Amino acid sequence: MSKGIISKDEDYSQWFNELVIKADLAEYSPVRGCMIIKPYGYSIWEKMQTVLDKMFKDTGHSNAYFPLFIPKSFFSKEASHVDGFAKECAVVTHYRLKNDGEGNIIVDEEAKLEEELIVRPTSETIIWNTYKGWIQSYRDLPILVNQWANVVRWEMRTRLFLRTSEFLWQEGHTAHATSEEAIAEAEQMLEVYADFVENWLAVPVVKGRKTPSERFAGALDTYCIEALMQDGKALQAGTSHFLGQNFAKAFDVKFSDKENKQDYVWATSWGVSTRLMGALIMSHSDDAGLVLPPKLAPIQVVVVPIYKHQEELDNIRNYVNSLSAELKAKGISIKFDDRDTQRPGFKFAEYELKGVPLRVAIGSRDMQNGTVELARRDTKTKETTTQEGLAAKIEGLLEEIQQNIFDKAFKFREENITKVDDYEEFKRLLDEKPGFIAAHWDGTPETEQRIKDETKATIRCIPLNNPQEEGKCILTGRPSKERVLFARAY
């Protein structure tokens, strides 16, 4: 492992790339745009999955699994949905390879599929094709299903965790008897996401809805949570869609209500992906490496022994065993790094790079004095404290760290939301002080597009519970009733 990573002030995107690689989260794969998520990175994702999965179950959802491949014909059914995804679909055309006689493996042209298969970019179509068979009556509703899956979107430009051709996610797909119920579902899941991202990733989010042009293809309304990264760019961290009856109509999914009247079913879908890893990394980390929130850190506490002789190590180990037992009883994960192949200084740097929230260093002097050295990753501070009551102290500190990194990110976010009423000022701020800009907009897609073309900033969302105020569109001067959040985004 080479020393250090580039400073994030020097080159933010290179900093991010180096961090992902050197912290052992992921690496590039032989396939362009695809990544290998390494065990350390994957264990963070697993923690996210575990927590989210429970939240889904607690709100009445069940998991299921739908196929990776979708018949091409399914895609022709919902027009705007097709438009949204057609340009980035991987297509399976053959089902067999053969040897060409010269030692090369080639596609067997005779094994051409009758109907081509699309590798799912999202599963609405195959799921609604399936729901048709599950729903006849209002008694069959609601259907509250989630699936954990991989999806493929053939992106032109990819970035580790933020935009890869294949990514992991969960997609919830629900079916309801009424519009109101479906909207309530979409709103509920947005709340679940916001709760999860703020309380587990320690990343503050703005809850809002997308403008029509930023909506999910096929949705009537898209709700989102938007986070602000340390470089001032916004990141969409999760979306929840009210799909209306669009997919029910496309796949002819009707039900009989209590009066025996036929109506199309109302739908939602909602998802978060491994992109959350990107949000996590970019929200808290620094030039020394990752900073992980304790609640998602694969290792919450690492113990580094400092010793010269075997008996000193044995002595330390003895103490660490009892500390481990105490911490495990509290549900805290601890690693005792007794490798003799690396020196303590190396280990310190390594665990800082990997974002372990707390480090305990114990040497022979400590053993004599009944103390340890306790170092916090978030503040980079160290203190010497007694072994007595250490487990309880660690427990408290982990909670404090979780809160602290959220507070820090929250303060940064608040400091980087600026109200702007002048277009020149708007453009200047985007370059000089990136972040969210709260500005008036006349509500037209044309204005939105022009601002995007001229500044690269998009409307990230119209915040929920947005204060209403009279104002003039920043570009056209036309009347507006509320401010929307603009930013350059990932």
Partner RNA sequence: CGGGAUGUAGCGUAGCCCGGUAUCGCGCCACAUUUGGGAUGUGGAGGCCGCAGGUUCGAAUCCUGCCAUCCCGACCA
Residues that bind RNA (CB under 7 A): 1-4, 13, 17, 28, 32, 84, 87-88, 153, 155-159, 162-165, 167, 216, 236, 239, 273-275, 288, 306-308, 340, 343-346, 348-350, 352-353, 361-367, 372-373, 375, 382, 456
Burial 212-238 (b: 16+ CB within 10 A, else e): eebbbbbbbbbbbbbbbbbbbbbbbbb
Cβ 391 to RNA shortest distance, Å? 18
C-beta of 253 vs 297, nearer to RNA:
297
Burial of 348 (0-12, 13-18, 19+ CB in 10 A): middle
Taking the least distance from each CB to RNA, the nearer of 267 and 272 is 272
Closest to RNA by CB, 346 vs 423, is 346
Cβ nearer to RNA, comparing 141 with 320 = 320
Of 156 and 329, CB closest to RNA: 156
Bridge partners of 146, per DSSP, are 63, 172
Work out how close the CB of 177 gets to RNA at its nearest, in angstroms, rounded to a whole number. 28
Nearer to RNA, 262 or 310 (CB): 310
* Spatial CB neighbours of 237, under 8 Å, sequence gap ≥ 6: 193, 197, 203, 205, 224, 225, 226, 227, 272, 275, 276, 279
| Closest to 275 measured CA to CA, from 37, 484, 469, 5 | 37
Give CA–CA dist 171/239, Å, rounded: 10
Nearer to RNA, 62 or 449 (CB): 449
Minimal distance, residue 386 CB to RNA, in Å:
13
Cα angle, residue 155 at apex, residues 152 and 158 outer, rounded to 5°: 105
3-state secondary structure of 100: coil
Q: Is the Cβ–Cβ distance between 474 and 421 less than 8 Å? A: yes
Q: Identify whether the C-beta of residue 54 lies closer than 8 Å to the C-beta of residue 104.
A: no
Nearer to RNA, 13 or 178 (CB): 13
* Smallest gap from residue 312 Cβ to RNA (A): 9
Q: Rounded distance, CA 244 to CA 218, Å?
A: 9
To the nearest whole angstrom, how small is the minimum distance from the Cβ of residue 297 to RNA? 17
SS3 199: helix
> Do the Cβ atoms of 147 and 65 come closer than 8 Å?
yes
Residue 256: Cβ-neighbour burial (10 angstroms; 0-12, 13-18, 19+): middle
Closest approach, Cβ 284 to RNA, in A, equals 17
* Pair of tokens at residue 426: 């708007």
Which positions ≥6 away from 399 have C-beta within 8 Å?
Answer: 294
Nearest residue (CB) to RNA, 253 versus 267: 267
Q: Which residues in 195-280 belong to E strands, given as ranges? A: 206-209, 221-228, 234-244, 254-256, 262-264, 266-273
CB of 249 to RNA, least distance (A): 22
Minimum distance, C-beta of residue 173 to RNA, in the bound complex (Å)? 15
Q: Find the helix packing angle between 423-432 and 445-455, rounded to 10°.
A: 40
Token pair 């320690």 in the structure block, residue: 202
Minimum Å gap between C-beta 350 and RNA is 4
Min dist. Cβ of residue 361 to RNA (A) = 4
What DSSP line would sit under 418-458, residue for residue?
EE---HHHHHHHHHHS-SEEEEE--S-HHHHHHHHHHHS-E
Q: How far is the CB of 216 from RNA (least distance, A)?
A: 6
Token pair of 323 as six digits: 């500390």
Q: Among residues 165 and 416, whose Cβ is nearest to RNA? A: 165
Residue whose C-alpha is closest to residue 266's, from 253, 282, 280, 281? 253
DSSP of 346-404, one letter per residue?
Answer: HHHHHHHHTT-SEEEEEEHHHHHHTEEEEEETTT--EEEEESTTHHHHHHHHHHHHHHH
Query: Is residue 122 within 8 Å of residue 66, measured between CB atoms?
Result: no
> In the complex with RNA, which residue's Cβ is closer, 165 or 480?
165
Nearer to RNA, 88 or 252 (CB): 88
Closest approach of RNA to the CB of residue 471, in Å: 27
Report, in Å, the least distance between residue 460 CB and RNA. 11
Q: Residue 64 or residue 86: which is nearer to RNA going by CB? A: 86
Beta-carbon count within 10 A of 477 CB: 11
